[in-house]
Structure 1
């Protein structure tokens, strides 16, 4: 057989001679979990957990759903590869351990014709609809937390319930069909970095449904469960070199493999509408209240990433591991975790916070992951109001330290204003609010508080004297000849 071997169902036996492949029969698999948002993270996390469970003899399988035109590329690749893909685990010592994952057995697009997606979700076999839709996909106002009914796609769905575009339109169309057929509701399970993600999904879906179909909204409120969950696995964007390494070193031709770190964690509230797979068999932790675990991860890992990303971007570092290899950055991030985040975290059952923080630094430093700073900084306008800014508000309330996080906000202003690092090299800025952030930041020389007066992002920080005094001081340092690294050394 010609090498490298094309990844597909027919070639699994040949591939299995040198790389782990599924030990289960995929031909007869029927999806009972439908997942919206099949990105790299989903494929390194939920799909991987389900693959482990299937290898253990369980039968649950996944059907992926694409609701954006950008999902068409993966849909086409999956069609060619029988929905198989390689997961490449990158270890700190440089070792790469690939495995073929087979838990996804179908992938449907809902962009041109919504019916196949609605039918899949409404099918009696579907027990869970899971979501990885990022902060923006929840369609809420970050200041008020209210559902955004001004979205043109939402307006369309309110007028045309049978022609959905967004996740809310599809969920309501499918749930209505199930209700009308006297089928039990499916669980809606969020697998993303929104704090209280299940509660948020419930709040937003009910807000939409109450306007579109009040009777359906009442049924959803009574029948659908929305477990909160905390998910964790660093999953960088796949690069051309990853594809080449897989082909040259492991004889596998995969058009879109996924790379990730060895660490994986999933904590889920055990409340489901219509049963669930026995994921506890493969290490998933089911709890009554996921809140403390969510807050720990969002405030330590996700915020820690943003701290390193924005400060590292200004200094000119390309990757997160390059930041942590610098003792100034390593000292700074540990100080931020210890001095500003830990004091606002409550007790977390079964977690040693000191060990967790130490493991975070080891994960950030993994030289084999090379998570790009530009990826970590992408969509900061959606991330920082959830990951970092609440820590500042809580420390202001208790008289805690704020200077380390405040420097990050000042760095974000400089980053948005100059759009260059401090050596003059252009920065790749990927943010839906890029233009608005730039317009606000460039006013800084005339109005020092212009950037933080965006209440949708910062709330009332611009009215807090202690914060504004600290912020102005940090801005003055960054906008003079002092480099960001020197400022970090001074305050950490």
Structure 2
């Protein structure tokens, strides 16, 4: 599949309403994964057919080196950065479209100067990113940017040849300031509460160590809008890719599948202008906080609370886990008793309706959503998704049984073996091998030293520690199902 093939797409496949060859780059995106392609690029694709909108094409940037990254870059180039998106509802109804919003793809380690040239172009108005919850290098103990990372230290020592997103953005902004080009907006599309504020802390923190004057200029001129993003986009295995192509009739090396539900709520703060994304259904608001709380504390929190024990029980897909009556009862009760009574919804959002929508989305068998994906980077996710509910529950004396069970299940999950004896590999990019080994320590309280639980460590009591240890011991002795809170 490439631009030539757009003239002869299979029946039922929708092509772009614009000519991708006419796009110019107005957005640079770091972290071209499945979620970005099914979310931000999807929304941009919807408005590119409008008059004057072709200035908002997206240049994708990959930050990692290696054979896999090189193969990905080659695949994008061969397909002119086109790819298919199959959207499937819970009832099985689906549609296929070809997305053409990407103007190109650059692998930063192969040509960092090309990335810097793109970022320095006056045409670029927005820089976006999906670098995962743990990718912002924030010290959870004090909320500051960590400069002890080896890659960060390398960028600080050699700012003209960066390798991190922080180095690329800082150097590009330095060049733009020197040339009088002006700033761009930096926007996170990751599942973080106040993700714009987190991004600002990270980028300004890096710049402050590098050049105090540049940091001050960034603080005064660059905007970092907070945004709430939501769409389930599963991993696409070779088998799934083959099935998607067989269904669509396309020969696509990069096919995607996603649910039909999608949401993007953004604070309307863009220092250099923005695309008319409200025409594609994006909600622009003055404060995204309420929407963040609902999504993070309901959808994301229940996603991982389902995932950890489900993996231990031998499940590998979200919909199959939710079809287990005992696990469904855990999530129902968690949302009804622990979350909804302790959350303030934004105007117009009904929390019970939202909960029911979440559970319907989780049950979508067409997603085949992998639990290992949901549980991946669990340490960072727990800090983001559970902290507020945990803090409120501890300080109010609320029942902690489900969250304590979740902590225990997470630590047991880190051991990498389920109740059937089948092994899997947890993905924990922010934890080193020594940290992960704490989950297998004979001292069942050792794992509580992980940064995973820093968000409420100051509120932890000996009773909570004892409860987590008791839950872990009982999970091992009696199994997960016998220990699910009722």
What TM-score, normalized to structure 1? 0.94
Tell me which residue corresponds to 1:66: 62
CA distance in 2, matches of 1:456, 1:101: 37
- Tell me the CA shift for residue 149 of structure 1: 0.8
- Tell me the CA shift for residue 245 of structure 1: 2.1
The answer on 1:38 being equivalent to 2:32 is: yes
- Tell me the CA shift for residue 291 of structure 1: 1.1
The answer on 1:49 being equivalent to 2:47 is: no
The answer on 1:237 being equivalent to 2:238 is: no
Task: Tell me: CA distance 1:170–1:54, structure 2 relative to 1, closer, same or farther (3 Å).
Answer: same
Q: Structure 2 stretches of 5 or more lacking a match?
A: none
Tell me which residue corresponds to 2:194: 196
State which of 449, 453, 464 in structure 2 corresponds to 1:457. Answer: 453
- Tell me the CA shift for residue 16 of structure 1: 5.7
State which of 168, 177, 180 in structure 1 corresponds to 2:178. Answer: 180
1:382-435 deviation per Cα after TM superposition (whole angstroms, max 9, x unaligned) = 211111244222210111221111101111222223x21112221232223262
- Tell me the CA shift for residue 343 of structure 1: 2.7
- Tell me the CA shift for residue 345 of structure 1: 1.4
Structure 1 residues 18-167: aligned runs within 5 Å: 18-57=12-51, 58-59=53-54, 60-69=56-65, 70-167=68-165
Structure 1 residues 329-478: aligned runs within 5 Å: 329-417=327-415, 419-432=416-429, 433=431, 435-443=433-441, 445=442, 447-455=443-451, 457-458=453-454, 459-460=456-457, 463-478=460-475
- Greater mean alpha carbon deviation, residues 31-40 or residues 336-345: 336-345
Tell me which residue corresponds to 2:316: 318
Tell me which residue corresponds to 2:213: 215
- Tell me the CA shift for residue 78 of structure 1: 1.0
- Tell me the CA shift for residue 104 of structure 1: 0.8
SS for the counterpart of 1:155 is: helix
SS for the counterpart of 1:62 is: strand
- Tell me the CA shift for residue 205 of structure 1: 0.9
1:222-258 deviation per Cα after TM superposition (whole angstroms, max 9, x unaligned) = 1100000000000001122232223323210001111
SS for the counterpart of 2:293 is: helix
Q: How many residue pairs get matched? A: 480
- Tell me the CA shift for residue 437 of structure 1: 4.1
- Tell me the CA shift for residue 94 of structure 1: 2.5
Task: Tell me: CA distance 1:389–1:474, structure 2 relative to 1, closer, same or farther (3 Å).
Answer: farther
RMSD of aligned Cα (Å): 1.6
Q: Are 1:35 and 1:63, in contact at CA under 8 Å, matched by a contact in 2?
A: yes
CA distance in 2, matches of 1:472, 1:214: 47
SS for the counterpart of 2:284 is: strand
CA distance in 2, matches of 1:107, 1:85: 13
SS for the counterpart of 1:134 is: coil
CA distance in 2, matches of 1:134, 1:26: 28
Tell me which residue corresponds to 2:476: 479
Q: Structure 1 stretches of 5 or more lacking a match?
A: 1-6
Tell me which residue corresponds to 1:3: none
CA distance in 1, matches of 2:206, 2:389: 30
CA distance in 1, matches of 2:28, 2:219: 20
Q: Are 2:228 and 2:264, in contact at CA under 8 Å, matched by a contact in 1?
A: yes
